[in-house]
Structures are given as structure tokens and as C-alpha cells.
Amino acid sequence: MTHWEDFYNTHLPPTDFEDNRSLLKEFCERHNKLQNRIVLVTSGGTTVPLEHNTVRFVDNFSAGTRGSASAEYFLDHDYAVIFMYRVKSLEPFTRHLTGQQFFDMLDITDNGQSTSITVKPDSVDVFAPILAKYKQARESQMILYVNFNTVADYLWLLRAACECLAAFEERALLYLAAAVSDFYVPQDMMPTHKIQSGQGAPTISLQLVPKMLAPLASLWVPHAFVVSFKLETDENLLITKARDSLFKYNHKMVIANILQTRKHRVVFVSPTMSYEVHLSREQALQGLEIEEPIVADLVKRHSEYINGASTNRQ
């Protein structure tokens, strides 16, 4: 496996990297001065391009539901939120109005002189609270959006965000819900142009992506409350793999989930305990989202962690 430092030495940052780095710096400095709590929410799947001029790529499953819903709940708990997401995956607030839903809420009228667009009366009740919360978050500058496509984009942004979050020490929470590729084609092993089918079926050799949780938890943000997600499809592996990850990277919490049941069941695994958070059928039917209790539980644990740290320092 490539060492994490070699990865940054051999992979160019994305073209908009410096712009995003400035945005991250400015956002973090402002919220740190205000002594706010901050959370980095990663969301959506990373891609692995197979060609430099990318026509084909390998993708990781994630719609971005977990991350985008959680970002909204963290805002409700007064956290400043860095929402780092895959381009075109779900985003906080707009996630409630996807596809044609939004257009179906609107009316258009044309009296020959002017055209006006209005929200249908029966849609106002749905749209107004979402819009109000969105406006509140944007106008109070409590949320910053940065996005990625490839696993390399993601890893560059992740490190840059951590560099800015380090100053928050225990007040920073990292909520790593993005589905990050474990395998990739290194840039120096990738063809420039589209792979041609005329040359026969290609054999594509994937390498292991370095595990960035290691430097992240031990070097980049050693005082932060770091929570990672573990996605499995085999229930028999779920808890063992979550424990392995905690043991290896020494962070605070792994939230384990199975692909098919992720919307109504997760298991919190910490070094000292494990417990399940789940939604009943009735709760799901009432429209409750599992991200609400997940975030509420983490906010409580984060508070205990911050309080513990200040007691230990006295």
C-alpha cells in the first residue's frame, strides 16, 4: 500500500483546491474566534477514474442521505457545519425537494405583460420551513459547502479541512460518513485517453488507497472527536470490523451499518461499549429519520468529551 505521505507527493490536488482551502480557512477562523463547536460532515461516494480524460470510473455506493440529513441536525444543535460532499449527491435542505417535486410545487402565470412564479398554496406548508431553515443557516454563515468527485479530490480536501480544524481541539467533531474507495488506480498508472475496446478486454489492476484515518486521528486532529462509519454487507463481520478499525486508528467511535438496513439500524461501537440505535416501523412511517437520534447521541458524547478534557486540564 502507498504510504499516506507518498499519496500526496504523487497525486496532484484538484484544480479548485486553493479556492476551497481559502474558504475552509476563513470559515474555521471565524467560528473558532466565536468559540463555536464545529463538525466536518463527509457525504457521498468517491469515484476512481480509470483514465486521465475520464470516460469510465469505479464508484462507491452512497446517495448522501446520511450526511445531508445529519448536517441539518448538527445545525439544529448549533454546530458550524463543513459539508464536504460528492458533486450531485444529496445536499442538506434541497434533499427534501428532489426531481420534479420542486417544479410540481410551483405555479406559473402569464398575463401577456409579465410572467410570475408562485408556490402553490398547498405546497407552502412543506416548502416554507425548509426554506426558512436554509436561509437561516446561509445568512448566519453556519454552513460551508465543499465538494469532491474522485478519491484524490476527497483526500486533498480532507487533509486541508483537518489543518483548519486542528485549532478547535476538542470542539471539533469529524463525522466521516462518505463512502471512500479502498482501491484506486494511481495517477502514474492510468492511461491518458479512453481505454479502447478494440484492444480486447482490459485487465485493470487496482491498488490499495492509504488509510488516512491513521494520520488523521493521530497527527492532523489528535484532540478532535473523530467518528467514522463502517459499511458492511455481511452482518457477521460488522462488529469485528468496527472494533478492528477503532483499535487500529484509536479514534472515538465507529458507527457500523449494513447496506440494506442502514436507514433504520446502526450500531455505535466505542472502545468501552457498543449499543444499537434503531427506528421502529411506526417511527419510520411517521417520517422520523435515524440521523436525528444518531446526531443527538453524538452531541451528548461530544459534550462529555469536551467537559472531560477541560476537567483533565485543570
- For binding to ligand 9Z3 (CB under 6 A), which residues are involved? 62-66, 176-177, 179-180, 228-231, 257, 262
Nearer to ligand 9Z3, 35 or 260 (CB): 260
Nearer to ligand 9Z3, 25 or 262 (CB): 262
Nearest partner of 219 among 198, 250, 189, 245, judged by Cα: 250
Nearer to ligand 9Z3, 27 or 148 (CB): 148
Q: Tell me what percent of the chain is helix, strand and coil, each rounded to the nearest 5.
A: 45, 25, 30
Least distance (Å) from ligand 9Z3 to the CB of residue 233? 10
> Is 254 within 8 Å of 228 (Cβ atoms)?
yes
Nearer to ligand 9Z3, 14 or 64 (CB): 64
Least distance (Å) from ligand 9Z3 to the CB of residue 106? 28
The Cα angle at residue 210 between residues 182 and 11, in degrees rounded to 5: 100
Q: Which helix (H) or strand (E) holds 248?
A: helix 235-249
Least distance (Å) from ligand 9Z3 to the CB of residue 113? 47
Taking the mean position of all CA atoms in its chain, how far away is CA 170?
20
Nearer to ligand 9Z3, 11 or 66 (CB): 66
Least distance (Å) from ligand 9Z3 to the CB of residue 179? 4
The Cα angle at residue 135 between residues 76 and 132, in degrees rounded to 5: 70
Least distance (Å) from ligand 9Z3 to the CB of residue 232? 7
